[in-house]
Structure 1
Amino acid sequence: MVGIEIGYARVSTSGQDLTAQRDALGALGVDAERVYIDHGLTGTNRDRPGLREALAACRAGDTLVVSKLDRLARSLPDARDIADELTRREVKLSLGGSVHDPTDPVGRLLFNVLAMVAEFESDLIRMRTREGLAVAKAKGRLRGRQPKLSPRQEAHLVELYRGGDKSPAELAELFGVGRSTVYRAIQRALPPQPGEKADAAGTGSTSCSTIHASTSSTTRTSTPPCTDPAAATIARLTGGNFRLIQRLFAQIAAACSPSTTSASMTADVVEAASSTLVLGAT
């Protein structure tokens, strides 16, 4: 039975094109329907879906065709393992039209040299990448993740929030950011209250006055002041999320009401009620 040619092509980044390799494989007699590809995968990792499919498609007497050895592997051990596996399965390996003969000492030498060159090129690329990143960092061009809001934008957002012109949801839509970004900007702008300790970021911990300032006027007037331990527990349960704090106050208003058996709310009460509170309700 006459064997068939199975093609394999690979590029390391998604921005690279496979046209040149496809054309080269077509010129070597490989049918376009029998070409397996890996797009955006490095050759230093043998675990590639396209390579697995190409190897699985090969049968005894077939030929695996690649335009260059570095498309098959960028590691000398991987290149040797693939070549040995193909030899055991009686599958030939064609490197740019030259069939590798594992029984020829000169052929084995050339194969190892080509594999070493491919591995060396991969190491050289990694080294140049690290050097480029180090130079960019030294020049201040590599600053990591940039904030979503500039200081001027954040100041404007806080000003609109304090003026009562916009809700957090409207501010998020206006500035094109998520609500969590809005909440963090507002929390950073809130000054520490008397007696509060500033945290590592320089912002004060959430207190009763801070929580009441973030709620509506109705909630602020109807809910009596709570104790500092209770505020700390509420802040821990809600993670400092103003929206959840508003909903939480709506649910515990009855517990803080003077008509209840206890006019004050302690941390133990809040902790005991945490398992039954539904923060999503209003």
Structure 2
Amino acid sequence: MLLGYLRVSTRDQSLDLQRDALERVGITKTWSDEGVSGSIAPAERPGFRALLDHARDGDEIVAWRLDRVGRNAAAVLALVEDLDARGVTLRTVSDGISTAGSTGRLVLGILAAVAEMEREVIRERVTAGVHAARERGTTIGRPSALNSDQVDLARSLRASGKSYAQIARALGVGKSTVARVLS
């Protein structure tokens, strides 16, 4: 039986492209994970876990691309070993990979390593961009809830004996904001 798997990293992304590709190759029964990172091991994702529970000897799990299954080479290779022991193969539509043969498993291992490297490169790029922005003086993160005048007022109210809750009500913010600003 052909079993389809779909995954997107964020809930605002659509599964439509993947679903259409799987339907074109005859897959009608699918499992999905929405808002789940590819860095999370496949067996730890609820949709993929349900798919694994359903899969039987002779079944083939089909995904649109290998990076939908996982971006960690070791996790993908461990999954392939587990599937192989259960008599289940893995195939990707756009990559054209199948674990049914030794060549496909070799190519899968290489592509899994490339997907993991791609994830690391993205992480490095983001870190470098944040670092460069900080060096230029750009503030990273959410804007402060209180301006400098409000912070001064919070300090004077605290010095006069007001509680965090009283200061928070006066400034229209939460107690944790007041505590963070005054610490």
Q: TM-score range by the shorter chain?
A: 0.7 to 0.9
Name which one, 1 or 2, has greater alpha-carbon Rg. 1
* Uncovered stretches (5+) of structure 2, i.e. residues with no partner: none
- Given candidates 161, 164, 171, the residue that maps to 1:175 is 171
Instruction: Tell me the equivalent position of 2:38.
Output: 43
Cα separation, 1, equivalents of 2:137 and 2:75: 39
Establish whether residue 125 from structure 1 lines up as the match of residue 122 from structure 2: yes
Cα separation, 2, equivalents of 1:119 and 1:184: 37
Cα separation, 1, equivalents of 2:128 and 2:101: 42
Q: Which moved more, 1:175-184 or 1:116-125?
A: 175-184
Higher RCO (Cα < 8 Å, 6 or more apart): 2
Kept in 1: contact 2:90–2:100 (CA 8 A): no
Instruction: Tell me the equivalent position of 1:116.
Output: 113
Residue 180 of structure 1: how far off its partner (Å): 6.0
Kept in 2: contact 1:10–1:18 (CA 8 A): yes
One-letter identity of the residue aligned with 1:77? A
Instruction: Tell me the equivalent position of 1:137.
Output: 134
Deviation per residue, 1:203-237 (Å, 9 max, x gap)? xxxxxxxxxxxxxxxxxxxxxxxxxxxxxxxxxxx
Residue 132 of structure 1: how far off its partner (Å): 1.2
Instruction: Tell me the equivalent position of 1:55.
Output: 52
Cα separation, 1, equivalents of 2:62 and 2:73: 18
Cα separation, 2, equivalents of 1:147 and 1:116: 41
Kept in 1: contact 2:4–2:61 (CA 8 A): yes
Number of aligned positions between the proteins: 179
Mapping of 1:17-166 within 5 angstroms? 17-31=14-28, 34-46=29-41, 47-96=44-93, 98=96, 100-104=98-102, 106-143=103-140, 146-155=143-152
Residue 161 of structure 1: how far off its partner (Å): 9.9
Report the TM-score, using the length of structure 1 for normalisation.
0.53
Q: Aligned residues: percent identity?
A: 36
Residue 148 of structure 1: how far off its partner (Å): 2.3
* Uncovered stretches (5+) of structure 1, i.e. residues with no partner: 189-200, 202-282
